[in-house]
Amino acid sequence: MIELETGPIATLATERVTTVAVGSARFRREFRTHRRTTMANKLPSDSIVHGNAFDALASLEEDAGHAAIVDYPWKFEAQNGTGRFGNDGDHGFDAYRTEDHERLADVLAELAESLVDGAWVFVFADDETSPEFRRLVEDSPFTYRRTLVWDREKFGMGTYHRVQHYPIIAATNGETERYVKNRGTVFRAMKHDGTPSTNDYPTAKPVKLYRQLLCPPVLEEGERLLEPFCGSGPGAAIAAERDLDYWGVDANPDAVDQARERLEQQRIGQVTL
């Protein structure tokens, strides 16, 4: 079942915001526990929510997921001269909401409760955010494991050497028996290979990259991937490809529409990855 409307998760998230906005830290924890208890066994196999990721995460029950990918909307500056991702109204930076970096700590705290013990989490970063994001991961309930590298295989923008790679901070939810022994730390995946795509989203990551990151034992058949800030849903494509359950959330309605379409079409075999 693919949840195509805002749905109960986002509704509960909204209630959480209005109810606990002025509450104590203890009350927040108790309220969150109550929400997760009442949500138990109600999460559909596929759910893509349009809403605030911070609040939607807090509505998930414990042990809801078995791995997570976090493409956090960090603050950055870029001028590519194309107008596709500049400050040009509906398609500019303002249309793609960014967040203060320190709020990543809130995401990690919620994920630690929503993921099973030993689950892997992968946090995307760049050269500027990587040291800060690694510190936030190390200060979180997760156990830092390694900084991986996404090799985009083509040069991006830059004046002092053009960007070709991005760090990915890998951690586990405490100790793990999901040992990754059959792959290295560099993952090669071209962002744009020239193939026309209906899922062209400015900060999208390639499905090929997700395929490499999430192959067993990181995620096994029938388990659930959590993808806050899912964008156009590359994780949704992998979930459909591998018969995984999927939960994603994003504040951008266009991105959510693309993610839902990608998941629905791939479930019925209409998408070529």
pLDDT in tens, 172-209: 999 999 999 999 999 999 865 445 445 556 677 999 99
Higher confidence at residue 34 or residue 238?
238
Q: Which residue range is the domain that position 20 belongs to?
A: 2-267
CB of 48 within 8 A of CB of 233? yes
pLDDT, residue 37, reads: 46
Q: What is the mean pLDDT of residues 25-54?
A: 62
pLDDT, residue 19, reads: 26
pLDDT in tens, 59-93: 999 999 999 999 999 876 654 433 334 444 444 44
1: which 2 tokens? 């079942």
pLDDT, residue 157, reads: 66
Count how many domains the chain has: 1
* Residues above pLDDT 90, as percent of the chain: 52
pLDDT surpassing 50 at residue 125: yes
Does residue 273 sit within a domain?
no
pLDDT in tens, 217-262: 999 999 999 999 999 899 999 999 999 999 999 999 988 998 998 8
Does residue 180 sit within a domain?
yes
117: which 2 tokens? 């013990």
Q: Confidence band (pLDDT; 50, 70, 90) for 121?
A: very high
The percent of the chain in helix, strand and coil, each rounded to the nearest 5, is 35, 20, 45
One-letter identity of residue 263: L
Q: What is the CATH number of the domain that holds 49?
A: 3.40.50.150
CB of 204 within 8 A of CB of 233? no
- Long-range contacts of residues 126-129, Cβ cutoff 8 Å, at least 24 apart: 126/74, 126/76, 126/163, 126/166, 126/167, 127/163, 127/167, 128/76, 129/74, 129/101
- pTM: predicted TM-score of the whole model, two decimal places: 0.78
Does residue 87 sit within a domain?
yes
| Dihedral Cα 84, 86, 89, 95, nearest 10 deg | 90
Does residue 78 sit within a domain?
yes
pLDDT, residue 3, reads: 44
pLDDT, residue 102, reads: 93
Does residue 237 sit within a domain?
yes
pLDDT, residue 223, reads: 97
Burial 96-133 (b: 16+ CB within 10 A, else e): beebebeebebbbebbbbbbbeebbbbbbbeeebbeeb
pLDDT, residue 74, reads: 85
Q: What is the mean pLDDT of residues 42-54?
A: 85
Does residue 272 sit within a domain?
no
Does residue 198 sit within a domain?
yes
